[in-house]
Chains A and B, each alone.
Chain A
């Protein structure tokens, strides 16, 4: 085939080479993000895993590159760490359940009840907190939970008082912080649910509750699981909120942070725990088909 006259210009020639070679095009397109992911993410994960097998000098606190599995046996057998892992898991589960329960009616109202204008406003309202700094929100909650603070003042007349800084506060604040990540997938799942399925269910004799259980829930559950991937893993990894409103509460995040300077290998072994939990959770969620709706 005779080369077209413009092929002489180098840019055109490069373009025409790229046009013919789909593989090369794809490789160029993906190389930057792939490098970023592989080096920055997988690389650091590998280093983490590696350092978990090292030891630390008892006097100098220097890291010694001697292979051993002592860190892992400490994490698995030491009751303190087991309690911390279970507490973290409990917090993540509680936050996820609370978010699912709170998000559902909100998302339902947005997707199926509100008029289009209201709906847009509500979507913006759900997204706005994500624009504010995480720290600002956490400190705001610190003020709310403080002794003689807003919460005390609010529930005082009922004879109650603020739970103060601790696990409850951590759960409440994390549930607040991650709520948008649950609302949005559930909202889009509900919005994609054809309205005439609800009509058909009512037509066949189902009450609203029955329709919810038999038609809405089974079809929106994958979206809830999709949202739960965010709420669950973000809660497992958090330590800033715990520092701000958790009082003396220890979670995996704070335990890791405390150990990083003193015993890096132990911190590395500890951080394998949330990784294992999240991978286990993802595998469980994948079986529900939720990952397809992400």
Chain B
């Protein structure tokens, strides 16, 4: 694993969640989670990002207590809870499909955790009211889950978890079932709520934009392992591995002969498409710049910007992105087949692991 070994942030007390050598195999064969070490700070908005089947849900379920790890430990607030059942852990979960109780009203759903913990009736009613107000669902108390829209159900699930004031809130792709517009609204809503309540959010997603825009830190999962942990900027600007470079943002890798010729070193290098300047073949590269000549193989017009896929003379292909400042689609498409020079700052060339 190539994660940063520094503590999450100097100003945050560490240790809301701590995973040590966590592993899980199903039926003794499938290694769904394969040795995960992780420390999540108090009050952090932490995202777990990774492709389908990379083990994110399984890690979350082990933190919640639904799944027993095959090896390793789970610590919450410094206390080992590996052997504790879900109902003895101070965490709550927002499930991907919400898992609302269909036979209960919204009020009963949200109040369920408090009722189970024998919170007095008056206090329970007050807290349920406050939780529903926080997710902006006043007036829905008497309805049943089947009578709500997807976005409203999502809010109920959130209120039902938050009303218990857990130390850690686990969210498994909570926005996955929503359409794009609602999704963006709920992203902002979730950020606002997290700031208001100040508890640790552990957020699973396979949407890289969601992870980058919402979280304080991101862990990138691949095949049951964490490839990299860091702030969104760190993960994006300095991907530790080829996988991270490809999964977070567009993959732009130089290796073998191309790396030697363009970068002047052997190894595997990544450079982000928007860092690359497309220049005329006669333009000289700047003193701190690396450059590569090539021919535009493909031009992809995407409204606000255009992607240029350039085949390098040294071998390999790079993608460069340019904002469509004053060009329309007809203008940019003319560039197909022309010879260009790609140039970028040396500091934007990042050496990545295999």
Chain B proximity mask over A182-205: 1 for CB below 8 Å, otherwise 0: 000000000000101101111111
Stretch at the interface among B16-24, B93-101, B126-134, B340-348: B93-101
How far is the CB of A225 from the nearest CB of chain B, in Å?
Answer: 15
Say whether B112 contacts A201, CB under 8 Å. Answer: yes
Say yes or no for B160: interface residue by CB 8 A criterion.
yes
Contacts A196-B95, A219-B103 hold; do A203 and B112 have CB atoms under 8 A apart?
no
Complex contact B116–A200 (CB within 8 A): no
* Given the contacts A203-B64, A205-B116, A218 and B93 also touching, CB distance less than 8 Å: no
Chain A residue with minimal CB distance to B108? A214
Is A126 part of the binding interface, using a Cβ–Cβ cutoff of 8 Å?
no
Let me know if A204 and B113 touch, CB within 8 A.
yes
* Min CB gap B42→A, angstroms: 20
Task: Tell whether, in the assembled complex, residue B117 and residue A205 are in contact, meaning their CB atoms are under 8 Å apart.
Answer: yes
**Judging by beta carbons under 8 Å apart, are B66 and A199 in contact?**
yes
Closest Cβ of chain B: how far from A26's Cβ, in Å?
A: 32
A205–B66 Cα gap in the complex (Å)?
12
Q: Does any Cβ of A come within 8 Å of B86's Cβ?
A: yes
B-chain residues with CB within 8 Å of residue A219 when the two chains form the complex: 102-103
Q: Which residues of B contact A200 (CB under 8 A)?
A: 93, 95, 99-101
Is there contact, CB below 8 Å, between A218 and B99? Answer: no
Instruction: Kindly state whether residue B85 has any CB partner on chain A within 8 Å.
Output: yes
Q: Give the complex CA separation of A115 and B122 in angstroms.
A: 44
Verify A205–B101 contact, CB threshold 8 A.
no
Identify the closest chain B residue to A202 (Cβ). Answer: B86
A206 at the interface (CB under 8 A from B): yes
Residue pair B103, A218 in contact (C-beta under 8 Å): yes
Determine if B164 is an interface residue (Cβ-Cβ < 8 Å).
yes
Give the CA-CA distance A210 to B161 in the complex, in Å: 18
Question: For residue B65, which residues in chain A have a CB less than 8 angstroms away from its CB?
Answer: 202-203
B231 within 8 A of A: no
Q: In the complex, what's the smallest C-beta–C-beta distance from B171 to chain A, in angstroms?
A: 12
In the bound complex, CA of A215 to CA of B115 (Å): 13
- B99 engages A197 (CB within 8 Å): yes
Shortest distance between the CB of B90 and any CB in chain A (Å): 10
Residues of B within 8 A of A31 (CB): none
Q: Is A207 an interface residue (CB 8 A)?
A: yes
Shortest CB distance B105–A (Å): 13
Q: How far is the CA of A203 from the CA of B99 in the complex (A)?
A: 11
Q: Are B160 and A204 in contact (CB under 8 A)?
A: yes
Q: Across the interface, which residues of B come within 8 angstroms of A218, CB to CB? A: 103
Q: How far is the CA of A199 from the CA of B102 in the complex (A)?
A: 14
B66, A204: Cβ atoms under 8 Å?
A: no
The interface on chain B, measured as residues whose beta carbon lies within 8 A of the other chain's beta carbons, has a size of 23
Q: How far is the CA of A205 from the CA of B65 in the complex (A)?
A: 12
List chain A residues, Cβ under 8 A from B103: 218-219
Smallest CB-CB separation from B170: which chain A residue?
Answer: A203
* Residues 207-226 (chain A) with a chain B CB within 8 angstroms: 207, 210, 214-215, 218-219
Given A210-B116, A214-B112; A202-B87 close (CB under 8 Å): yes
Q: How many chain A residues touch the partner (CB < 8 A)?
A: 17
Tell me the complex Cα distance, A198–B76, Å. 22
What 1/0 mask marks residues of chain A from 212 to 250 whose CB sits below 8 Å from any chain B CB? 001100110000000000000000000000000000000
Indicate whether A205 sits within 8 Å of B164 (C-beta atoms), given known contacts A199-B66, A199-B86. yes
Q: A194 and B112 in contact (CB under 8 A), knowing A199-B86, A202-B66?
A: no
| Contact between A206 and B87, CB atoms less than 8 A apart | yes
Q: Does B92 touch A at the CB level, under 8 Å?
A: yes
By the criterion CB–CB under 8 Å, are B102 and A205 in contact?
Answer: no
For residue A199, which residue of chain B has the nearest CB?
Answer: B66
Give the distance in Å from the alpha carbon of A38 to the alpha carbon of B126 in the complex: 59
Q: How far is the CA of A204 from the CA of B66 in the complex (A)?
A: 12
> Looking at B64, B85, B87, which has the most chain A CB atoms within 10 Å of its CB?
B87
B99, B117, B164: the one contacting A194 at CB < 8 Å is B99
Contacts of A214 in B (CB 8 A): 112, 116
Query: Which A residues are in CB contact (< 8 Å) with B102?
Result: 219
CB-based contact B99/A206 at 8 Å: no
Q: Is the CB of A207 within 8 A of B87?
A: yes
A204 to B99, Cβ gap below 8 A? no
Contact in complex: B64, A204 (CB < 8 Å): no
> What is the distance, in angstroms, from A196's C-beta to the closest C-beta of chain B?
4
Instruction: Enumerate chain A residues within 8 angstroms of B101, measured Cβ to Cβ.
Output: 197, 200-201, 215
Chain B nearest Cβ from A65, distance in angstroms: 54
Supposing A199-B99, A218-B103, A219-B103 touch, asked if A204 and B85 sit within 8 A by C-beta, the answer is no
Complex alpha-carbon distance, A215 and B92, angstroms: 17
- The answer on a CB contact under 8 Å between B87 and A196 is no
User: Which residues of chain A come closer than 8 Å to B97, judged between CB atoms?
Assistant: 194, 196
Contact with A along B176-219 (1 / 0, CB 8 A): 00000000000000000000000000000000000000000000
Does the CB pair B113–A205 fall under 8 Å? yes
Partner of B92, one of A194, A204, A206: A204
Considering the chains assembled together, what is the distance between the CA atoms of A210 and B85 in angstroms?
14
Q: With A214-B112, A215-B101, A219-B103 given, is the CB distance from A205 to B87 under 8 Å?
A: yes
Q: Which of B64, B66, B161 has the most CB of A within 10 A?
A: B66
Chain A residues 26-44 with CB under 8 Å of chain B are: none
Say yes or no: B112 contacts A204, CB within 8 Å: yes
- State the B residues within 8 Å of A (CB): 64-66, 85-87, 91-93, 95, 97, 99-103, 112-113, 116-117, 160-161, 164
Identify 13 residue pairs between A and B in the complex whose beta-carbon atoms are under 8 Å apart, listed by A's number: A196-B99, A199-B66, A199-B86, A199-B93, A199-B99, A201-B101, A202-B87, A203-B64, A204-B160, A205-B117, A205-B164, A206-B116, A219-B103
A201-B101, A202-B66 known, 10 other contacts, Cβ within 8 Å: A199-B86, A199-B95, A203-B93, A204-B113, A205-B116, A205-B117, A206-B87, A210-B116, A214-B112, A219-B102
Among all A-B residue pairs, the 10 with the closest Cβ atoms = A204-B113, A200-B99, A202-B86, A196-B99, A205-B116, A206-B116, A203-B93, A205-B87, A218-B103, A202-B87
